[in-house]
Structure 1
Amino acid sequence: MSKLRKTGFNLKPGERLDDLVRNDLKIIQRPGSFCFSIDAVLLANFASVKKGDLIVDLGTGSGVIPILLTTRQQVDHIIGIDIQAEAVDRAVRSVAGNGLQGLITIREGDIRNASAELGLGKFDLVTANPPYLPAGQGKISPNKEIALARHELCCSMEDVLREGARLLNSNGRLAMVHRPERMVDIIFTMKRYGLEPKRLQLVYPALGKKPNILLIEAIKGAMPGLEALEPLLVYDEQGNYTKELMEIYYPGR
């Protein structure tokens, strides 16, 4: 944790403060705009985080992934970058409210230019929860923030993987959450940019349901060899969170 003291959360009209249930961390969200979901929590838990890591979170939104990553290991620093000024503003205030200014920096910027802005080959880990849907697929939300978070309007999966590969040092890791139906494209594109897929996990809503979340991690310049992890179920037969999911959401309880 940062040595800076918490400053209190500066909420604006229409915003709420959500409890992240870890280290007394909280986050500012605005109902009606894009709010983080289980995808971000799963990614923050899935990514391989090592002590001293220098990390970039591409498309950081509310800043939830950088904030959660601070509970994993004593990392060097985390940079979150997002193109949306309103989301960046909330993330900056969440970081300050949690006293994490010395550990997390939130920047407004375009993922498509991330390596030019942040530097080539400097980072140990890149995380990303990018838009899942191509621009021509599905109904685009009239809410700009939600539209940009869900559809590839300003950033595609290839943009994320290209820039992630450029940001990473040799043997650096890229962890991403996406949709299972895009697995082939993701793996193909990773390998195209020198990212070798090493760990993969499918998340199922419940037994008998199709997987709806894909977690995947690649290493830059690694030898081939993909480990498929045990599938993760979200709900049990009674409709409650499974033990595995509870351990992710409420560690130590």
Structure 2
Amino acid sequence: MDSNPIREVEPSLQPGERLDDLLTHNLRIIQSSEVFSFSLDAVLLARFAGVPPRGRILDLCTGNGVIPMLLTTRTNATVDGIEIQPRLADMANRSVRLNGLTDKIKIIEGDLREWRPDGELYDAVTVNPPYLPLSSGDYKENHHQAMARHEIGCKLEDVIAACARSVRIGGRVSMVHRPSRMVDIIDLMRRYRLEPKRIRFVHPRKEAEANMILIEGTRDGKPEVRLLPPLVVYEEDGEYTPELLAVFYGQAAELPDFKRQNGRAPITKTNEVRKEAEDD
């Protein structure tokens, strides 16, 4: 990858914020337990997504910008991140400046339901959307966490429609979600001319049901889908599996067609799945 511009020496942190190490390419990220902290699903999506060696990538529901930052370790493409919550967009912007990535990442505060690409369409789109429909229960979290977990600011169809109108013909759309929404996801992808091409289920342990699905589609692609081997997160002793470590270290087989870049990703136990409270 190209060398980074000048980084900020001291980040500007607001009350309740902390600075975490992404453990790859000397990247650091601003997080907050009260507002937003990224988790395993974001890391897996950033490693799973098919991305071009250069060009333009869009990350919807970008949160604090973790996916755009991780994507810069795999490609020379520029990445735009869209985030509806002003506080999260501000955290993402400060992390981008902190890491000297202003030439590669642009964070845009906006509503994906209304936002439209400015200029050419994107070569690839990634999205880690809210998982839970409004009917799933009461919202005990604070406003920021509720927005990240529940379809308050956008529904699944809003997300897929935004992906479809933002990606060029032949471009890729990659998403992480819950397996319980798989039928809805595939139905909506086809309705919006995104043909599913790769699917991988993620299981917390070998004998457990999948609690995440990684799915990628191509705009106006031909019907043909690959079901990749399941990814198991934990060994029986609670340690990460070799397969998961391979994904973290950029050596996984689910990154076809594009030049791979080896690099480390966060594997700390503090960065668990942000919706794990709903996985029971």
> 61, 66, 73: which is aligned to 1:64?
66
Give the TM-score taking structure 1 as reference length: 0.95
Q: Percent identity?
A: 49
Bigger mean CA offset, 135-144 vs 224-233: 135-144
In structure 1, how many angstroms separate the alpha carbons of the residues matched to 2:102 and 2:133?
34
The answer to whether the Cα contact below 8 Å between 1:129 and 1:176 also exists between their aligned partners in 2 is yes
The answer to whether the Cα contact below 8 Å between 1:2 and 1:103 also exists between their aligned partners in 2 is no
What is the aligned partner in structure 2 of residue 104 from structure 1? 105
Please list the CA deviations of residues 75-105 of structure 1 after superposition, one character each: whole Å capped at 9, or x if unmatched. 1x11001110000010000000000000000
In structure 1, how many angstroms separate the alpha carbons of the residues matched to 2:197 and 2:249?
27
SS in 2 for 1:217: strand
> 7, 32, 35: which is aligned to 2:34?
32
5 Å-filtered alignment, 1:35-54, equals 35-54=37-56
The answer to whether the Cα contact below 8 Å between 1:78 and 1:104 also exists between their aligned partners in 2 is yes
In structure 2, how many angstroms separate the alpha carbons of the residues matched to 1:170 and 1:182?
25
What is the aligned partner in structure 2 of residue 21 from structure 1? 23
> Shift of the alpha carbon at 1:34?
2.2
- Aligned pair 1:189/2:191, yes or no? no
In structure 1, how many angstroms separate the alpha carbons of the residues matched to 2:3 and 2:94?
15
In structure 1, how many angstroms separate the alpha carbons of the residues matched to 2:30 and 2:15?
11
SS in 2 for 1:132: coil
The answer to whether the Cα contact below 8 Å between 2:173 and 2:216 also exists between their aligned partners in 1 is yes
**C-alpha root-mean-square deviation of aligned residues, in Å?**
1.4
What is the aligned partner in structure 2 of residue 168 from structure 1? 167
The answer to whether the Cα contact below 8 Å between 1:57 and 1:126 also exists between their aligned partners in 2 is yes
What is the aligned partner in structure 2 of residue 144 from structure 1? 143
Give the TM-score taking structure 2 as reference length: 0.86
Please list the CA deviations of residues 193-217 of structure 1 after superposition, one character each: whole Å capped at 9, or x if unmatched. 0000000000000011000000000
- Long gaps (5+) in structure 1: none
The answer to whether the Cα contact below 8 Å between 1:202 and 1:211 also exists between their aligned partners in 2 is yes
In structure 2, how many angstroms separate the alpha carbons of the residues matched to 1:114 and 1:217?
22
What is the aligned partner in structure 2 of residue 240 from structure 1? 239
What is the aligned partner in structure 2 of residue 154 from structure 1? 153
The answer to whether the Cα contact below 8 Å between 2:47 and 2:248 also exists between their aligned partners in 1 is no
The answer to whether the Cα contact below 8 Å between 1:119 and 1:167 also exists between their aligned partners in 2 is no
- Long gaps (5+) in structure 2: 251-262, 265-280
What is the aligned partner in structure 2 of residue 55 from structure 1? 57
In structure 1, how many angstroms separate the alpha carbons of the residues matched to 2:197 and 2:48?
12
Give the counterpart letter for 1:83 in structure 2. Answer: I
> Shift of the alpha carbon at 1:228?
0.4
The answer to whether the Cα contact below 8 Å between 2:16 and 2:34 also exists between their aligned partners in 1 is no
By relative contact order (CA 8 Å, sep 6+), the higher-ranking structure is 2
In structure 1, how many angstroms separate the alpha carbons of the residues matched to 2:142 and 2:249?
31
